[in-house]
Amino acid sequence: MSRSHSNDALLLHRRQLLGAAVGAAVGSASAAIAGVSLAAEDSAAVRRLGPGPSPLGERSPFAEQARVPAMGIVSFTPHENLEGTITPSDLHFERHHGGIPALDPQSHELLLHGMVERPLKFSLTDIKRFPSVTRSCFIECSGNYFPFAGEESPPHLICGLTSQSEWTGVALSTLLREAGVKPGASWIIAEGGDAPLLNRSIPLAKALDDVLLVYAQNGEAIRPAQGYPMRLLVPGWEGNTNVKWLRRLEITDAPVMSRQETSKYTEPMRDGTIRQFSFEVDARSIITAPSYPATIAKGWQEIRGIAWSGRGKIQGVEVSTDGGKTWQPARMQGPVLSKSHTRFTLPWFWDGEATELQSRAIDETGYVQPTLRDIMKERGPGSGPYHFNPITGWLVRRDGELRFSPTG
């Protein structure tokens, strides 16, 4: 073996891993030898022709997947069943305020108007003629915390309203140059083509920075639940601003003060004031494996999870395997991209004793994911469900079962 693998964690633990894996596999290793000669004998069973090529490659019946619909208005991404960073498009979380409109790209148009030199209308075909940009990015609903099953809450209830896609579209700055923004303009009102015509106000500076008008998700047309034929991608900002089924962009000099930024998506603070425009998503992380409802066995396994921040790249993730007393740096899977889910991993030897697993994310601004206690101390008890990003944990019981722990 002439080369060594570059995984430091692996090298550190090599001897222990070796012992663990032999423990896992050695019971069947002698059977394995017999298995070699069985290869010819069992070939009658193995050598059955399978089905041929087909238009769509479906999932295995042994690995079916589903989002988890709830309350008639959302469905959760099942992070407990996912690896890597991409969320398959049909498992991207959904959140509607009036169901999914069935938009025909032949008749759908985007109107760009208000404080511009030239009001413009664009069809999907028009939009695709402009220079395109592709980037991976998460979208997270600002109300992404529903531990309503208590200890028996799986990851999809804790963090199932964040999902990650590779998006393709046109920079909003490109379209704004086409229309010519008038002096004094400072906001954009984005309006969707869904039943409530959901609208949100976005500062013009953000629009010119990194907002995209996207029409593709993970290589193909956006799914209807995600805004087909086009939506805004507002990197790092609360999901609600990423207006789906986009039909109108109005350039203004003030926010529209819509229902979605007054009665909803605002946060009462301890001093009696209301935090209105809290656009950026704070850094957060969750351990997706092991997690409820899994049961684990003693020995080596890998702790895995995702971390993200609306303010840029994840700088580090720390994991505690003793309920927050001590913390170890996790390995982060590269490439670490800005405003994207980042996968972290840490090898862990479970000795069979009860404990608690926790993770905390640190982003490139130095922000550290807070405890529940820290959040409550800052905001007060009536702070509501938005922008809630506490460190959470999984209690490991002596029988190997896991339970959700809000910690803090």
Q: Which 161-180 positions form the footprint of a copy of itself (CB under 8 A)? A: 166-168, 171, 173-174, 176-178
Stretch of 71-79, 256-264, 369-377, 400-408 contacting a copy of itself, by CB under 8 A: 71-79
- Could you tell me where the beta strands, DSSP code E, fall in 198-276? 199-203, 212-217, 220-221, 231-233, 246-252, 267-268, 274-275
In angstroms, give the least distance from the CB of 236 to a copy of itself.
Answer: 16
Site string for a copy of itself, 102-141 (x = CB under 8 A): xxxxx--x-x-x----xxxxx---x-xxxxxxx-------
- 187-192 and 120-122 beta bridge pairing: unpaired
Among residues 181, 317, 357, 396, which is the contact residue for a copy of itself, using CB under 8 A? Answer: 181
Residue 184 binds a copy of itself, judged by CB under 8 A: no
Is 387 an interacting residue with respect to a copy of itself (CB under 8 A)? no
Kindly indicate which of the ranges 49-57, 322-330, 363-371, 377-385 contains the residues binding a copy of itself, using the contact rule CB under 8 A: 49-57
- Residue 331, token pair as written in the block: 């390995």
Size of the residue set binding a copy of itself (CB under 8 A)? 135
User: Shortest CA distance to 259 belongs to which of 98, 92, 399?
Assistant: 98
Q: Which stretch binds a copy of itself (CB under 8 A): 33-41, 235-243, 277-285, 361-369?
A: 33-41
Among 41, 58, 271, 399, binds a copy of itself (CB under 8 A): 58
Q: Which residues pair with 231 in a beta bridge?
A: 214
| Distant-in-sequence, close-in-space partners of 252: CB < 8 Å, separation ≥ 6 | 114, 115, 185, 186, 187, 188, 189, 201
* 141, 156 contact by CB (below 8 A): no
Q: Does 44 bind a copy of itself (CB under 8 A)?
A: no
Among 147, 151, 203, 208, binds a copy of itself (CB under 8 A): 208
When asked if residue 46 is in the footprint of a copy of itself (CB under 8 A), the reply is: yes
Distances (CA, A) of 77 to 145, 165, 216, 238: 13, 12, 19, 17
List 221, 269, 368, 395, residue binding a copy of itself (CB under 8 A): 221
Q: Write the CA distances from 168 to 10, 100, 134, 292, integer angstroms.
A: 36, 21, 4, 35
Task: Out of 152, 253, 302, 322, name the contact with a copy of itself by CB under 8 A.
Answer: 302
Minimum distance of a copy of itself from residue 70's CB (angstroms): 7
CB under 8 Å to 398, separation ≥6 — which residues?
352, 353, 354
Q: Does 282 bind a copy of itself (CB under 8 A)?
A: no
For the chain, what is the total number of helices (H) and then of strands (E)?
9, 24
Q: How far is the CB of 198 from a copy of itself (least distance, A)?
A: 11
Give the dihedral sign, CA 28/34/37/39. Answer: negative
| Chain residues 326-365 in contact with a copy of itself, contact rule CB under 8 A | 331, 333, 335, 337, 343, 345, 347
Near a copy of itself by CB under 8 A, which window of 42-50, 308-316, 356-364, 370-378? 42-50
**Residue 98 contacts a copy of itself per CB under 8 A:** yes
Which residue stretch of 95-103, 254-262, 351-359, 378-386 sits at the interface with a copy of itself (rule: CB under 8 A)?
95-103
Report the nearest approach of a copy of itself to the CB of residue 273 (Å): 29
Structure tokens at 244: 């789906």
Asked if 285 interacts with a copy of itself (CB under 8 A), we say no
H/E segment holding residue 23: helix 14-25
- CA dist., res. 336 & res. 313, Å (int): 7
Q: How far is the CB of 229 from a copy of itself (least distance, A)?
A: 7
Cβ atoms within 10 Å of 289's Cβ, excluding its own: 20
- Nearest C-alpha neighbor of 387 from the set 241, 259, 243: 241
Rank residues 122 and 265 by Cβ distance to a copy of itself and give the closer one: 122
CB contact set of 32 (below 8 Å; sequence gap of 6+): none
Nearest-approach distance from CB 188 to a copy of itself, in angstroms: 12
Closer CB to a copy of itself, 130 or 277, in the complex = 130
